[in-house]
């Protein structure tokens, strides 16, 4: 019995570890109000505490409409609240008692902040409720629509779902190219050659990828390793210090994934470019090119050509299709195949 108990005790951490690997807990992100104020150049009307200690977790904003009439069923207090011409004008049509009742119900749920657009003069009851419930009040001369657009765009980036993956992200002719592959295949060395040829480094070794919209991925380096590159035999170098500020960039949209792999003489590589391969990153399809690595192949030049060719395809031109047409082949009989590659991204 003791032996069985001991075996069970040894197996408990292993079972727990397996369960923890299987369960993916949802991750929420936040942005400080101070960062929002600096990004949108907002002015402070009332601030109950330091804006660095106030965090926003919702990327959506709220322009109170039905809430001002007393309907609160779908009111989300985690959103920043914006008052424009319509909201302030409607409040002025109400009696003082009605304004106090409605605003008290709204601000009792303590939204993270309230912003007054167009530098409008808020009703005294609005400022009274922000002070009562310690809700920051900010103002800006921007029109309401411009303010909402800028705030939503900023919050979509700051609160976007994200992952960190092994690879190198470079900008080549305006295209964001994510270079992936096994360790030691030459990703960092290829990035150095691209930098020497006038392109820009975004991230080496660890790339933080954010889904900023339904179709867009943006990559950047973690702040503590930004601009650094590891080269075997040399060590750590600072690309910004060596090559200058023009050789680096903070972030870049991911347009293409280059998968570097050792040359396999038994594998058939694509030599036409009619069919396409893609991978999914955070649910978004990204085109993939598999480039075999072999002595004598200049990877930097190949990636430059791949980036320009990908740009041409996005603009509607396909060189392979033009060649087949010039050979008299009917493109309607050729079906383009799209294959998904699992690159663990």
Burial of 308 (0-12, 13-18, 19+ CB in 10 A): middle
Catalytic residue among 166, 240, 311, 313: 166
Residues forming beta bridges with residue 88, ordered by sequence position:
none
CA 203 – CA 176 distance, rounded (Å): 11
Closest CA to 106 of 138, 85, 84, 83: 83
Q: Residue 53 catalytic?
A: no
Nearest to 276 by CA among 343, 344, 345, 340: 340
**Choice among 59, 187, 199, 211 that is catalytic:** 187
313: annotated active-site residue: no
At 180, give phi and psi (nearest 5°).
-125, 170
CB 217 within 8 A of CB 284: yes
DSSP assignment of 238-281, as one string? EHHHHH-GGGB-SEEE--EEEEEEE--TTS---SS--SEEEEEE
Judged on CB neighbours under 10 Å (0-12, 13-18, 19+), 126 is buried
Active site residue 271: yes
**Are the C-beta atoms of 136 and 37 separated by less than 8 Å?**
no
Among 271, 330, 342, 344, the one annotated catalytic: 271
Spot the catalytic one: 34, 104, 162, 205.
205
Catalytically active residues are 166, 187, 205, 271
């Amino acid at each position: 019995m003791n032996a069985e108990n001991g075996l069970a005790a040894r197996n408990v951490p292993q079972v727990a570890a397996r369960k923890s690997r299987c369960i993916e807990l949802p991750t929420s992100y936040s942005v400080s109000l101070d960062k929002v104020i600096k990004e949108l150049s907002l002015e402070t009307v009332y601030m109950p505490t330091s804006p660095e200690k106030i965090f926003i977790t919702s990327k959506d904003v709220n322009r109170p409409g039905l809430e001002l009439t007393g309907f609160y069923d779908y009111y989300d207090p985690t959103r920043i609240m914006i008052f424009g011409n319509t909201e302030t004008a409607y409040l002025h049509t109400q009696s003082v008692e009605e304004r106090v009742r409605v605003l008290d119900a709204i601000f009792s749920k303590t939204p993270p902040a309230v912003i007054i657009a167009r530098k409008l003069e808020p009703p005294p009851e609005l400022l009274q409720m922000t002070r009562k419930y310690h809700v920051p009040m900010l103002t800006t001369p921007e029109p309401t629509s411009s303010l909402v657009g800028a705030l939503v765009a900023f919050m979509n980036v700051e609160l976007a779902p994200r992952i960190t993956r092994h690879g190198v992200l470079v900008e080549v002719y305006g295209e964001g190219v994510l270079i992936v592959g096994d360790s030691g295949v030459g990703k960092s060395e290829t990035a150095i050659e691209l930098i020497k040829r006038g392109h820009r480094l975004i991230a080496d070794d660890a790339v933080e990828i954010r889904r900023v919209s339904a179709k867009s991925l943006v990559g950047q380096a973690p702040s503590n390793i930004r601009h650094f590159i590891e080269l075997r035999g040399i060590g750590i170098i600072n690309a910004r210090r060596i090559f200058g500020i023009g050789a680096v960039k903070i972030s870049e949209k991911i347009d293409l994934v280059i998968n570097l792999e050792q040359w396999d003489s038994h594998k058939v590589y694509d030599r036409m470019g009619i069919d396409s391969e893609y991978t999914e990153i955070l649910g978004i399809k990204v085109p993939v090119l598999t480039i075999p690595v072999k002595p004598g192949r200049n990877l930097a030049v190949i990636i430059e050509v791949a980036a320009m060719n990908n740009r041409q395809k996005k603009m509607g031109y396909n060189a392979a299709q033009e060649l087949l047409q010039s050979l008299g082949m009917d493109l309607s009989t050729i079906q383009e195949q799209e294959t998904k590659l699992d690159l663990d991204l």
